[in-house]
Amino acid sequence: MPSPTSRLLRLGLTMWSHSGWQSEFYGKGTQSSERLAKYASVFSTVEGNTTFYASPSAHTVLNWHDATPDEFRFTFKLPKQITHQNALRHSQQDVADFLQLMSPLAEKIGMWTIQLPANFGPDDFVALVQFCQQFPRDIPLGVEVRHPAFFAKQDAEKQLNQWLLEQGINRIIMDSRPVFAAKADNEVIIDAQKKKPRVPVHAIATAHSPMIRFIGHPELDANLEFFAPWLSKLPAWIAQGKQPYLMIHTPDNVLAPQLAVKLYQQLQTQLDLTTLPSFPAAVDQQQLSMF
């Protein structure tokens, strides 16, 4: 059955496998090989960080396909060798090899995301244009920039946004305000604030599926204030016929599933969304209680 979030928007997390979710989300006794299927029973998409760091085996790709329903969508990041080490240059063969490896999942790709480093700036814009030209227009792409010039609302950003609009490429939106509002009083917060980009939130939809990466505050209720603007922006995009992707993070992602539920419930006050499925662990407990 299609996920209830897939009709209007797609809700997901940064990963599908986390040891900290064993008891509260997956259920005790869940094997690592079962985690993706259980994740996909609740969420309709996932931010595929795993491919940024290393390419999977062909067997693993087939397993990912078999573990997910037809309506599920992956948003895999292109490998860092392509985006960071090569800065998108001289990567035609690397891209071809990667897409060939991932081809069994072709119909389940929500978008291929191009996450660029902070030093990839306006002087590299031509490289971005040339790089994206190698993709057929029917392959959905998302671009995440981090260079300050692309957030300055000057010529560099205007040029980028106009090109993205013309090409139908999604500009990935980073909302890291919540995590940077947290007091840096433990290693988890300190580490998250070092690694996450602190860039302005430019809520622009340049294509059909704007993606928001919401980097949450460790105190779940503290996120509601920061999420409030999205309660009007997301419905507005949906009314325009767009299908947004909402990716939820927390500093160590232990409570990411719970935060996703909390924010989804906020959206239910503004959108006609069905109830999110219960976590597999809760379903297991309900079934056990029947005996």
pLDDT in tens, 26-78: 998 899 999 999 999 999 999 988 999 999 999 999 999 999 999 999 999 99
pTM score, whole prediction: 0.94
The H-or-E segment that residue 10 falls in is: strand 10-13
Instruction: Tell me the per-residue pLDDT of 245-274, one tens digit each, with 9 for 90 and over.
Output: 999 999 999 999 999 999 999 999 999 998
- What percentage of the chain reaches a pLDDT higher than 90? 91
What distance in Å separates the CA atoms of residue 20 and residue 277, rounded to the nearest whole number? 20
- In 3D space, the residue among 2, 1, 21, 19 whose CA is nearest the CA of residue 261 turns out to be 21
| Residue 3: count of CB within 10 angstroms of its CB | 22
Q: Is the separation of the CB atoms in 255 and 18 below 8 Å?
A: no
- In 3D space, the residue among 137, 35, 140, 16 whose CA is nearest the CA of residue 78 turns out to be 140
Q: Has residue 11 got a pLDDT over 90?
A: yes
User: What DSSP character marks residue 77?
Assistant: B
Contacts of 162 (CB under 8 A, 6+ apart): none
Structure tokens at 244: 């947004």
| Residue 268: count of CB within 10 angstroms of its CB | 13
pLDDT at 124: 97
* Residue that the structure tokens 């999420």 belong to: 227
pLDDT at 1: 44
> How big is the chain, counted in residues?
291
Domain boundary assignment for the chain: 10-289
Q: Give 237's strand partners.
A: none
Structure tokens at 249: 């993070």
Q: Has residue 119 got a pLDDT over 90?
A: yes
pLDDT at 199: 95
Q: Has residue 110 got a pLDDT over 70?
A: yes
Mean pLDDT of the chain: 94
pLDDT at 208: 96
The domain defined by 10-289 folds into TIM Barrel (3.20.20)
**Main-chain dihedrals φ then ψ at residue 276, nearest 5 degrees:** -65, 140
The H-or-E segment that residue 58 falls in is: helix 58-67
Instruction: Tell me the per-residue pLDDT of 124-178, one tens digit each, with 9 for 90 and over.
Output: 999 999 999 999 888 999 999 999 999 999 999 999 999 999 999 999 999 999 9
